[in-house]
Structure 1
C-alpha cells in the first residue's frame, strides 16, 4: 500500500487483481465508518463527495474502466468491497455514486449485491447500454465504446436487443431491498437521453414501490453534472446513511 496526500487527506492506494484502487480517509471518521464509493470519474463534479469526506465519510474508488458494468466488473467490485471493508474496517454498506457510465456499475452492483448498498446517487446515469453507447435511440452514441461494451458482455449487436442485461432490466432486486435512489439529470442530454434512461428508471422504480427522488435540470445537457449547491445531495445521503458522532480516525487497521 502507498499513502499519499490528497487535498489534505491521506489517500491509501493499492492494487487489487491488477487494478488500481484507493481510499481517501477522513480526518475524523463518522461513527460506523460510512463510505462513499464513486464507481467512475472519481474527482469529476465531486463537491458533494468532498463535503461528505469532510463530514467523516471515507471515499473510495476502484478502476474498472471499459467494462461497462458487465458481470466481470461486478465480480471485481464484489472483491473490492470485501477488501476495503476488511482492511479498513469500513461499513458493510456503501453509498454508491454512479455518474454517467458509472450508473452501469453502480446499478449492476446494487442488483447483484443489494445487501452491500446503502443508497444510490445517480447523476445523468447510463441505464440502458443500447441508449449509450449503442446510440439505438435518440442519443448520439459512441461507436468505439459500443464495440467495447458488446465485447465486455459477450454480445452481438443483434443479441443486445433482447439480452436484458442493462440496469433497467434488473431493478427488481434493488427495489426489493428498498435501496433509496437520488437521481439528477438534465432534460436536454443528447449523450445519455433522460427519456431513455432516468425517466424509465423513475417510472419503473416507483411502480415497484421503491423510493426515488429526482432532480431534473431544465435545458441542461450531459454536463455539468451534479448541483452547484450540493445541499440536496447531502441531505439525501444523510437522511438514509447518516454520519453520527465523529470519532478519531486513528487506529485504522490499515495504517
Structure 2
C-alpha cells in the first residue's frame, strides 16, 4: 500500500484482485466513517466528491474501467468494498457515484448488494447498454465501447436484443431496499438519452414508492457533469443516505 499526499489529503493506493484502488482520507472523519465511491472517472467534475470529502466522508475509487457493470466487475467491486471496510474501518454501506457509464456499475452493484449501499448519485446516467454504447435508440453507437461491452457480457448483436441484465431490469431490487437516489441530467444530452435511461428509472422508481430526487440542467449536454454548486446533492446524500 502506497501513502501519498493528494490535494492536501492523505491518499492510499493499493491493489485488490490485481486491480488499482484508492482511498482518500478526510482531514476530520465524520462520525461512523461514511464514504463515497466514485465508480468511474475519478476526479472528473468532482464538485460533489470534494464537498463530501471536506465534510468528513472518505472518497474511494476502484478501476474496473470499461467493464460496463458486467457480472465479473460486480464481483470485483464486492471484494474491493470488503477490503476497504476492513483496512480503513469504514461504514458498512457506501454511497456510489455513477457518472455516465459509471451508472451501469453503480446500479448493478446496488441491485446485487443492496445491503451494502446507502445511496446512489447518478449523473447523466447510462442505464441500458443497448442505448449506450449500443446505439439501438437515439444515441450514436460507440463502436469500440460496444464491442468491449458485448465481450464482457458474453453477448452478440442478436442475443443482446433479449438481454435482461441492465440496471433498468433491476429497479425492483433497489427500490425494495429503500435506497435513496439523486439524479442530475441535462435535457439536451445526446449520449445518455433521457427517455431511454433516466426517465424510465425515475418513473419506475416512483411507482414503486422509492425515494428519488431529480435535478434537471436546462439545455445541459452530456458534459460537463455535476453542478457548479454541489450543495443540493450533498445535502440530499447527507440527509437521506445516513439513515
Q: Which residue of 2 aligns with 1:246?
A: none
Q: CA deviation at 1:242?
A: 4.3
Of the two structures, which has the highest relative contact order with CA contacts closer than 8 Å and spacing of 6 or more? 1
Deviations 1:79-100 (A, max 9, x none): 0000000111000000110000
Contact 2:98-2:120 at 8 Å conserved across structures = yes
1:30 aligns with 2:21: no
SS of residue in 1 equivalent to 2:29: strand
Contact 1:125-1:198 at 8 Å conserved across structures = yes
SS of residue in 1 equivalent to 2:20: strand
SS of residue in 2 equivalent to 1:237: helix
1:87 aligns with 2:87: yes
Q: CA deviation at 1:207?
A: 1.2
SS of residue in 2 equivalent to 1:224: coil
Q: Distance in 2 between matches of 1:220 and 1:32?
A: 36
Q: Which residue of 2 aligns with 1:39?
A: 39
Contact 1:141-1:191 at 8 Å conserved across structures = no
Q: Distance in 2 between matches of 1:47 and 1:203?
A: 27
Q: Which shifted more, 105-114 or 157-166?
A: 157-166
Instruction: Map 1:98-177; keep pairs closer than 5 Å.
Output: 98-177=98-177
Q: Distance in 2 between matches of 1:178 and 1:73?
A: 24
Q: CA deviation at 1:140?
A: 1.3
Note the aligned Cα RMSD (angstroms): 1.0
Q: Distance in 1 between matches of 2:102 and 2:94?
A: 15
Q: Distance in 2 between matches of 1:239 and 1:162?
A: 39
Deviations 1:175-205 (A, max 9, x none): 0000000000011111111111001110111
Contact 2:118-2:242 at 8 Å conserved across structures = no
Unaligned runs of 5+ in 1: 244-255
Instruction: Map 1:217-228; keep pairs closer than 5 Å.
Output: 217-228=217-228
Q: Distance in 2 between matches of 1:239 and 1:229?
A: 17
Q: Distance in 2 between matches of 1:78 and 1:112?
A: 9
Q: Which residue of 1 aligns with 2:3?
A: 3
**TM-score w.r.t. structure 1 length?**
0.94
Q: Distance in 2 between matches of 1:94 and 1:241?
A: 9
Deviations 1:79-136 (A, max 9, x none): 0000000111000000110000000000000000000000000000110000000001
Contact 1:126-1:197 at 8 Å conserved across structures = yes
SS of residue in 2 equivalent to 1:139: coil
Q: Distance in 1 between matches of 2:182 and 2:141?
A: 25
Q: Which residue of 2 aligns with 1:252?
A: none
1:186 aligns with 2:186: yes
Q: Following TM superposition, where does structure 1 have runs of at least 4 consecutive aligned residues deviating by more than 2 angstroms?
A: none
SS of residue in 1 equivalent to 2:140: coil
**TM-score w.r.t. structure 2 length?**
0.98
